[in-house]
Every structure is written in C-alpha cells, then in structure tokens.
Structure 1
Amino acid sequence: MRGMWLSLLAVMLLLVQSLSAAARPESFADLAEKISPAVVNITTSTVVETNAGPNPIVPEGSPFEDFFREFQDRNRGGDGAPRPRRSSALGSGFVISEDGYIVTNNHVIEGADEIIIEFFSGKELEAKIIGTDPTTDIALLKVEADGPLEYVSFGDSDIMRVGDWVVAMGNPLGQGFSVSAGIVSARNRALSGTYDDYIQTDAAINRGNSGGPLFNLDGQVVGVNTAILSPNGGSIGIGFSMASNVVTRVVAQLKEFGETRRGWLGVRIQDVTPDMAEAMGLEKASGAMVTDVPDGPSKEAGVEAGDVIVSFDGKEVEDTRGLVRQVGNTQVGKAVRIVVFRDGKTQTLKVTLGRREQSDGAVPAVQSGEEPAPEVEPQEVLGLTVSPVTDELREQLSLDDTITGLVVMDVDEEGDAYEKGVRAGDVITEAGQNKVATVADLEERIASVKEAGRKSLLLLVRRAGEPRFVALSLED
C-alpha cells in the first residue's frame, strides 16, 4: 500500500513539474524564429534647413580667415543661403498582411518625406503612408513587394492577464533586430491620450523599439510598443504598448478611409465623486456627469447639463474614460439609447452620434435668460464670499453676456470649498441642479437640499468658461 502511495506521489510531482515547464518556456527561440520575418526596421529621413548660426569673429588678415570662409561655404549654397540637409530617425514596425500593409507608431514617421522598410532578410523597400492617428499614435504604411510577405496577426489584448509572458521585438537604439521577453506588469494604463489603453510590460523597450510588436506566446500581436517611463532615456522595466484591441479598430479605419472616424456624443463630462452622488441621490458614484452641452447630437436629443449618463447603447457607464472609449468605438451616424439620471430618476434618450474629428472647435452653448438686478454687497455662504454677476465683474472676468450666477470673491482656506478647488474668480451658475442668480437663490437651494435630508449641495462652477461640478458639505 505504501509503495502505491509513493508511486502516486511521484506521478503527481512529475505532473506539477510538467505544468510548471509549460507555464514558463525554457526558450523563446522557436517563437522568435517564427515571428522575425514579419518584424521590420524603419528608417525615416526629413529635409531640414541648417542654421548657420552667428559668424565667428576672425581678425582681418588672420591666417584662419580663409579656413572659416571655406567652412561657411561648405554649409551654404552658392547664393549664401543655408544648405538643406537630411535628418534621419529609426523605429520599428510589423507586417500585418501578405500584400504589404505595415503598422508602426505615428511619431516614428511623422514629418518624414522618405520611409525605408528593412526586412529581417536584409531587403529594403520604400513605404508610403496610408493613414495616421496621432490620438493613439498609430500609423499604417504600405510597401509594394514582388511576392507575398510574411505577416503576423493580432491577438485579443483583453484576455491578457497580469503575469502573462510577452515578447517584444524591434530595433532598439538602432542596433538592428532584437528580441526581449518579460511579463504583463499591468493593464488598462492611461498616459495622456483620450483613448489610451496601454499594456505595461517589463520586457526591455528602448528608443528605436517604437512601433514594434508585443507578442503573446502564440505569436499574436497584443500591443504596439509606444512609450517608456525612464529617468535616463533607457529601459528600467516600465514600458507601454497600445493594446491590440484599440489598434485593430484604428488600422481598419485607416485602411478603409485613410483616417479615423470616431463617434461623437457632444457633451462635456466629469467623473462622479461619492459626495456628488450623495448630493444627487445616486446609489453609487459611477457614470459620467454632464457639465455642458455644446451644439451637437446630445443637445438635439435633449441631454442637459447636470444629467448623469449611467448607460450607453445598452452598456453600463463606469466613468468618463469608459464613456469616451465606448462612444469613440461606436459607428458614426448610429442611433443609440443613453440612460441619464435626472431629478432623482432615470430617463432614456435617443442620440444619433456625430463624428469626433469634425467636432473640434465646437463652441459650448450657454442658455440665456433674464438677468436679475444684482445685489450690491457680497455675502458669505458655505465658506464662500459671493456676489451676483455685475457689468463690472463681467468685464473683469471676460464673461459672456449670457452668463448669470454668483461670482466667488473670496474663499475660506479652511473650508470644504477651498479643499474642493473652488477659487476666487469662479462663477457659480447652478446649485442643486437649478440656476442661481442671487444669494437668495443659493440660500433657497441650501434649505431645499437640507429639507430633503441630503448632506451635500451640488454646485456647477465655471472657470474661464470651463464648467465642472463640485459637491460641498452642508454639515457644520
């Protein structure tokens, strides 16, 4: 009996060792050999004007006079003007189809007048730009080859888990084709862009790796290496790759249209904080608070400032970042249903999405109304010294003629308002999701909210025309 148990234990140990070996490959050589033909080095060149700089001071008759004259002539044209020269840059990319489509970063090829693609075999071809998307830093190129090219496919970045093995390949520091391996350190990282969805990895990524692929162990591209976090310009194990599920949508649009076409809802939004949720009677601090509604799709559909968008096209909205991505990934012209929380209950509206790229420069719509006679003396409320908008204040703060409300003259630095970022010069246009034009209006809203048993009052505050909501505590 004891011998049988020992045999069973030995089998189990072998099984554990086998599973461990499967989880951690002894070598990435087979994978590197498989993917290398589809990875490319990219060299770009741009013509720039040389700056001759100040002329050296050389005494007349000096033996160095002829030397400096010849030096300047070499750097100038025959007419004495600065001579153009070529500036080169290096990057990486990868082939995604046998007919020569190549993906890289936009910053790798931006401004280039010549793009040379070097393949693993050493062959070189000139590429043309099909389209670029500076927002996600993705560019699509095309080469004309004699025959079908080796290519790689995109994988599903959403199923990658923290701790999964990944392999990066590219042209770091101009050293040529190089492979590095690491793990997924984090997911859903945001750096600075609206549509950011980066995979963080500790696989070595350096200058020149930009635009190169990040592979899973099946040889599928799960990210495009884009940026590193480093105090010295070299890899310290914090690299970022734009997730493939973002890249595939961008590439598809660049291939079809030569540009991106993202959905546009037409609202300004901010995240809902717990104190804001309490002030509005929301069950949880989620969704996207509408701070302003410019002329556009949402205004036509009846969306109002103060609404909280809790659902978009059948999917729950977690926060502003989530909503921006949901809208951007939706087809332009599609009619979608959004659910908003307004006046203590939900309401469903139907919005036909516009196009984000055509919305830049849209001017926020401000509702006009009768401007009441302003009170002269500033008064203190909720740690704020406020005064109705007067002609003098309107001129001092460069306010639009249609703006009404209360100008913050001073803020108690020990109060809740100061901690929440309210400052002198801000204009309070709404309180409790109702317009205010006088101190009496504000005091009435405070009393109404207290009577409803709420502990916070929601204010709509504008600074330099930009609106945001702030929830102030009503507790002493």
Structure 2
Amino acid sequence: MEDYNGNEQVRVKEERKKGKSLWKTSLVSGTVASMVTSSVFIFGGDFIDQGKKSVDDSAQTASVAQTERAEKEGVTPQKLSTSTDSKDRANMVETASKSIVGVVNLQDTQNQSPFQQQSTESEKVETGTGSGVIYKKANGKAYIITNNHVIEGAKEVEISLYDGQKATAAVVGADALTDLAVLTIDASKAPDGIKFGNSDSMRPGEEVLAIGNPLGLDFSRSVTQGIVSATGRSISVDTSDGAWTLDVIQTDAAINPGNSGGALINTAGEVIGINSLKISESGVEGLGFAIPSNDVIPVVTELIENGKITRPYLGVSLASIEELPQYYLQDVPEAAKTGVMITSIEAGSAAEKGGLKQQDIIMEMDGTKISTAAELRKYLYTDKKIGDKVKVKVYRGKEEKTATITLQKS
C-alpha cells in the first residue's frame, strides 16, 4: 500500500510538470465551457418554467371541467390516501425500531496464567449477538422476545436499547424446539412494546420489513425490505432438544447473522414474525424465515406463566432407520424400514408402562405414519395433550404389534 501511494505521488508530480504549458488553455476552455453550460441551464430553466406554466394551465382547465361534470352527475370527488408514502413508512419504522433491542450472549472463559497449570480467573466474554423485540411492559418489567439459539448457554445476557442504554436481562424461560426465549429488564429503562399482528392474514406478495442487528450491534436496528415469499413453510432443524420441524413464513427481506430474534413487520408496523433463520448456501439468495406471530404468542405466554413449555412425554430415544448400522437391519422386514427405532427407554416412562421395548420400530401413531423422530415429536406436541392415550404400531423383530400408551408430563 505504501509503494502504491509513493508511485502515485511521483506520477502526479510528473503530470503537473508536463501540464504547465496547457494551464492557460485549460483555464480558458473551462471558462468558455462554464459560460455555455450556464446559458444552457438558464434557458433550459426558462423553458421548463414556461412549459410547466402551460401544463399547469391546461391541467387546471381540465380539473375545473372534470369537477363541474362530476357535480352535475352527483359524484363527490375524493382524495386518494397517501398513508403508504415513504414519509409515513419512515415514521412507522422509526417508531417500531425503538422496540427492537440488541441481545448479547456472555459466557465465562477461564484465564490461565503461564506460570500455573490451572486456571485462576474467569471472566465473561461476548460469544454472540442477536436481536430481540420488546413484547410488553407489566409489573415493573419489560418482556423481550428473542430466539433460544441467541441466548443458549449464556452465563449472562445483556440488552442494548435504542438510546444507547444497556441493561442486564433475566431469562424467564426458553424453548429449544420452537427456538423462542423470553427475557426481562427493568421497565423504567425500556420503551413501550410493539404491537403484534395476525400472521395468518399475511399472503405471498405482501410487503414486509425486517428490523434487527445484522453482524452485531455496529449495524443495530437495520431495516431491510421485501415481501412474503410463502406462508406455511416447514423447515427441518436440529436443536439441543432433538430434531424438529419449524413452521415458518418465508421472506426475501435480507436476514443475516445477528438478525435472529428481530422483528418481521407488516406495513402497519405490527410484528407478524420473529426472524429466526436463513438458508445460506452458494448461489442461494433471498431465503429467510420467520416464526409466525400466531405461533409465537402461545409459546411466549406459557414461558411467562410457567418458565418452560410442558409437553406430552413418551420417554424414548429414537433413531431413523437410515442412521442405523447395517447389522441392525438384517432381520428388519422391508415394511419396517420407513419407521424410527427406539434406541433406549427411560425407566418408569409412559413408553415402558405401555409395553414398548428397546429396538422396537415405531411405524404409526393413531394411524398417522411416522418416519422420523421429528414427525413423532410434531404429532405428540401438536395433536396430543398430557393424559391422552395414543395407539402405537411397532415392529418387534418381524412381528407387528400395537401398544396403547398414556402420555405423561415432560
């Protein structure tokens, strides 16, 4: 870089020496050019003004004629709404952005002295940042929604507010499968919560805006624009609680690392989704996903009330057939190769009490085909409640059996 600058300076000096004789010519040419340009601008301006006046007169005459005709026909002229113009949009975004926060995940790290074999001190260091949405204020607390993966493993969570204030947050509850978490901070430090809209009313093609902190707090409350690309999408995800299928809204509004936990809002400034993930592959663009607001609110409500999500519990560990070594499959009937195998059963669990055994291959639950662990969880957690009975069809060796299980509390 230094060599480049040095060469550049030498080149400029040489050009100045060569250009001495042309200095007067350049000055004259520049003066003439500016005179010509000024003339064109002035006359052009007069022409534009005259043209504008002529057009205005014609428009005024036409407007009067149209108004008189409308009055004769009994039609009342109405002004078109301008509520969606850029100024109103900017005002809406400015208001909504105040309810978007930065979420910093702080974890302990051990400092080891070079003269000692064991670590002597620990300090909290930033291991990741994301976004959050102020949901509501109640009982002196401001409740913040974010993604579970943003705060997972944190020793401490720090919130960065729109006015530069920082606050330490308490984790109210988190759920890995739905990738949602609720935090609280002192309500006196936080602005009001943002309104949540009806995600079921959104249709492909409707305009949306994503607000969050892409790539960290240096780009806090960045706004990107796009449309709803699709609704009712299902994305398979691996979580700390196992495989799961997440129902999402697809959007082409740019969602980048750090946007997780931020808001996807409609043109009325209402949150219709919590930004959660994107598909990031070479040659792939515009594939971002948000958890629909109508799915978010029930989970958040339960987390606030109970601190966790309570679900029906079967008490088994599972593996898909394709994950198993070949020697496990030697005696498995062909019809059973589309199910999931029980690899272990918890003592005293609903599965054990119902007669299921290790290496049973689950094929169906209440007639619903099961081919992955995620499908089994989805069926139990969305269609069943604690205390419900479920009929489980399994293959035990080459024999088909049916067991009736009474679901327990997780």
* Paired residues of 1:204 and 1:235 also in contact (CA < 8 A): no
Partner of 1:183: 227
Aligned mates of 1:119, 1:132 — CA distance in 2: 21
| Cα deviation, residue 143, structure 1 | 0.8
| Cα deviation, residue 335, structure 1 | 3.2
Alignment of 1:57-456 (within 5 A): 76=113, 79=116, 84-88=122-126, 89-98=128-137, 99-146=141-188, 149-173=191-215, 174=217, 175-187=219-231, 188-193=233-238, 194-231=244-281, 236-264=285-313, 297=350, 308-309=364-365, 324-329=377-382, 332-335=385-388, 352-355=406-409, 357=410
Aligned mates of 1:25, 1:154 — CA distance in 2: 22
Identity of aligned residues (%): 32
Q: Secondary structure at the match of 1:127?
A: strand
CA RMSD of aligned residues (A): 4.5
* Paired residues of 1:170 and 1:179 also in contact (CA < 8 A): yes
* Paired residues of 2:111 and 2:123 also in contact (CA < 8 A): yes
Aligned mates of 2:145, 2:184 — CA distance in 1: 9
| Cα deviation, residue 243, structure 1 | 2.5
| Cα deviation, residue 351, structure 1 | 6.2
Aligned mates of 1:90, 1:205 — CA distance in 2: 14
* Paired residues of 2:236 and 2:245 also in contact (CA < 8 A): no
Q: Secondary structure at the match of 2:97?
A: helix
For normalisation by structure 1, the TM-score amounts to 0.50
1:28 is the counterpart of 2:89: yes
Query: Counterpart of 2:132 in structure 1: which amino acid?
Result: G
* Paired residues of 1:335 and 1:350 also in contact (CA < 8 A): no
* Paired residues of 2:313 and 2:386 also in contact (CA < 8 A): no
For normalisation by structure 2, the TM-score amounts to 0.57
Q: In structure 2, do the counterparts of structure 1 residues 133 and 337 end up closer, same or farther at CA, with 3 Å as the change threshold?
A: closer
Aligned mates of 2:387, 2:85 — CA distance in 1: 46
Q: In structure 2, do the counterparts of structure 1 residues 178 and 105 end up closer, same or farther at CA, with 3 Å as the change threshold?
A: same
Aligned mates of 1:94, 1:44 — CA distance in 2: 16
- CA displacement 1:396-435 (0-9 Å, x = unmatched): xxxxxxxxxxxxxxxxxxxxxxxxxxxxxxxxxxxxxxxx
Query: Counterpart of 2:134 in structure 1: which amino acid?
Result: V
Greater per-residue helix proportion: 2
Aligned mates of 1:105, 1:300 — CA distance in 2: 36
- Give unmatched runs, 5+ long, in structure 2: 1-64, 71-76, 239-243, 321-333, 394-402
| Cα deviation, residue 244, structure 1 | 2.5
* Count of residue pairs brought into register by the alignment: 295
Instruction: Tell me which moved more, 196-205 or 27-36.
Output: 27-36
| Cα deviation, residue 119, structure 1 | 1.4
Query: Counterpart of 1:354 in structure 2: which amino acid?
Result: Q
| Cα deviation, residue 35, structure 1 | 1.2
| Relative contact order, higher structure (CA 8 A, sep 6+) | 2
Partner of 2:51: none
Partner of 1:49: 110
Query: Counterpart of 1:176 in structure 2: which amino acid?
Result: S
- Give unmatched runs, 5+ long, in structure 1: 9-14, 52-75, 271-278, 281-287, 341-348, 358-476
Query: Counterpart of 1:230 in structure 2: which amino acid?
Result: S
